[in-house]
Amino acid sequence: MTRSKILCTKSHLMGHIIKSMSDQTSQAESQQIITEVLFNSIGDGAITTDEYGKLTRINPVAEKLLGYSSKEVVGIWFPKLFTAYDSNGAQMPITERPLTRALVTGQIISEHVIYKHKNGSLVRLSLTISPININKKLVGCIQILRDISSEYEIDKMKSDFISLASHQLRTPLSAVKTYTHMLIDGMMGPLSQSQLKSLKTILTAVNRMNETVSTLLNISRIESGTIVAERKPLQAQKIINSVIDDHRLTASDKDITFSVNCPSDGFRLVTDGMVLKEVLGNLVSNAIKYTPSKGKITISAKRDKTRMIISVSDTGVGIPIDSHLNVFSKFFRAENVIKNEASGIGLGLYLVKGLMNELGGEVWFESQEGKGTTFYLSFPTKASNTSTLKHISPRKVKNVTAKVRKTVA
Ligand code: ADP
């Protein structure tokens, strides 16, 4: 090959390389522009942070929601920039904040929080924080924020109305109940069999109305955050017995028997007795309602290493497998009970779940259609063990917090 030919081939090759490099550069640039445009076009607020929580990007909706421009906030540690409050208005410590939890656990976190706007006002937001992983390495998080202030206001008005209406219904209902009891007990003279039967029907209906009113009242208390659980040492067996006493009549109408398995110390527990009674009352009332006559209800209590567990087991109709995911949702009723059991509005288990949350415990169940259902309640053995970070080792939390502080310094 002649020298001129070699030079010609080399320059041709260089041309190719330069072209392909500039093609790649422009490809990378256009990719970046597309990413930028996509990010800025998201209809909800979007904020990205690096793996230490330093803000890397904020889209126009989030700028508007929080009052800061991108220039003001990029590069700043997110928790320093925005104070976060939980939905009851209590300031969240750094370890409890959704961003920290997403960074520590690598899991998607969805919840309602309140952030402080630049002008000092509070913005109520629904937040979803998803960790971003590249080659299985956590490189940051993306938060999607949605303003829920107006939904919250409407919901609050609805809760206030329900709370007021339930309060107003309580007093007349308890008068009806007291006088019906007096009539049944013969305190106002002897009654014929048919009069007695009618009064018992009235009493059952009043009891049901009372239960519904108290469920509505408790739900509005939970949703407005006004329920305060007072944990004290108590003997759970006493509460179990009193719940059974309250339901003995209804159960005996269906020939349903109770049995209780409790440790000999009466099952000492640190929790709120009134709330526990409400929770157990709901589970026992369901067990009676959804168990055919001559059935059996067993209430058991036991300890394991970290928890105290109470279970309510019945030999009833069971919950169809395709309904298992919805059982704790508001107004949910399974197909197999709607036809046969008219009484019920699908709020009892929603309330049980909310109350167990307040107690720092959990509720779950096992069920087989046609065979029966067991609901389990678990209570942490240490009253203080209610942190949302309870599944993460304190060391891990400490390491991440230290890293975060180092980044800020
Ligand atoms: P409801 O007022 O309908 O009883 P709940 O919230 O207490 O509302 O329960 C929701 C649904 O869960 C019930 O309608 C029923 O389908 C199912 N369920 C709850 N407890 C039981 C049980 N012990 N046995 C069978 N089904 C149950």
In the CATH scheme, what is the homologous superfamily, with its name and number, of domain 42-147? PAS domain (3.30.450.20)
Q: Tell whether ligand 1 has an atom less than 6 A from the beta carbon of residue 320.
A: no
Q: Can you list the alpha helix ranges (DSSP code H) found in 148-271?
A: 149-184, 193-223, 236-253
Q: How far apart are CA 239 and CA 241, in angstroms?
A: 5
State mean pLDDT over 59-70. Answer: 96
Q: Which residue has the tokens 């925005």?
A: 82
Predicted pLDDT of residue 344: 85
Predicted pLDDT of residue 41: 92
Q: Tell whether ligand 1 has an atom less than 6 A from the beta carbon of residue 212.
A: no
229-409 maps to which CATH number? 3.30.565.10
State mean pLDDT over 76-102. Answer: 90
- Torsion angle of C-alpha atoms 250, 256, 257, 258, degrees rounded to 10: -60
pLDDT band at 166 (very low <50, low <70, confident <90, very high): confident
Q: Are 240 and 261 in contact (CB under 8 A)?
A: no
Per the rule left: phi > 0, alpha: psi between -120 and 50, beta: everything else, 17 is: alpha
pLDDT band at 52 (very low <50, low <70, confident <90, very high): very high
Cα 30 to ligand 1 centre (Å):
56
pLDDT, one tens digit per residue, over 170-214 is 889 999 999 999 999 999 999 999 999 999 999 988 988 988 898
Q: How far apart are CA 35 and CA 193, in angstroms?
A: 80
> Which pair of structure tokens corresponds to residue 231?
């944990």
CATH entry, 151-226, from 1.10.10, 1.20.1630, 1.10.287, 2.40.160:
1.10.287
Predicted pLDDT of residue 23: 67
pTM over 0.75: no
State mean pLDDT over 284-301. Answer: 96
> Which pair of structure tokens corresponds to residue 247?
């339901």
Residue 262, judged by CB atoms within 10 A of its CB (0-12, 13-18, 19+), counts as middle
DSSP-assigned letters across all residues of 351-375: HHHHHHHHTT-EEEEEEETTTEEEE
Residue of minimum CA distance from atom 4 in ligand 1: 344
Q: Has residue 67 got a pLDDT over 50? A: yes
pLDDT, one tens digit per residue, over 369-383 is 999 999 999 998 864
Q: How far apart are CA 399 and CA 390, in angstroms?
A: 16
Predicted pLDDT of residue 313: 98
User: Could you state, in order of their start, the residue ranges of all structural domains in the chain?
Assistant: 42-147, 151-226, 229-409
pLDDT, one tens digit per residue, over 330-381 is 999 999 998 877 678 899 999 999 999 999 999 999 999 999 999 999 998 8
Strand partners, 303: 308
Predicted pLDDT of residue 222: 85
Q: Has residue 98 got a pLDDT over 90? A: yes
Q: Are 193 and 200 in contact (CB under 8 A)?
A: no
Q: Has residue 409 got a pLDDT over 80? A: no
Q: Has residue 25 got a pLDDT over 60? A: yes
Three-state DSSP at 260 gives: strand
Q: Has residue 152 got a pLDDT over 50? A: yes
Predicted pLDDT of residue 386: 42
Predicted pLDDT of residue 406: 54
Residue 344 Cα: closest atom of ligand 1: 2
State mean pLDDT over 2-25. Answer: 58
Predicted pLDDT of residue 13: 57
Task: Name 237's Cβ contacts closer than 8 Å, sequence gap at least 6.
Answer: 260, 262, 266, 267, 301
> Which pair of structure tokens corresponds to residue 305?
């290493």
Q: Are 127 and 143 in contact (CB under 8 A)?
A: yes
How many other β-carbons are positioned within 10 Å of the β-carbon of residue 94? 16
Q: Tell whether ligand 1 has an atom less than 6 A from the beta carbon of residue 256.
A: no
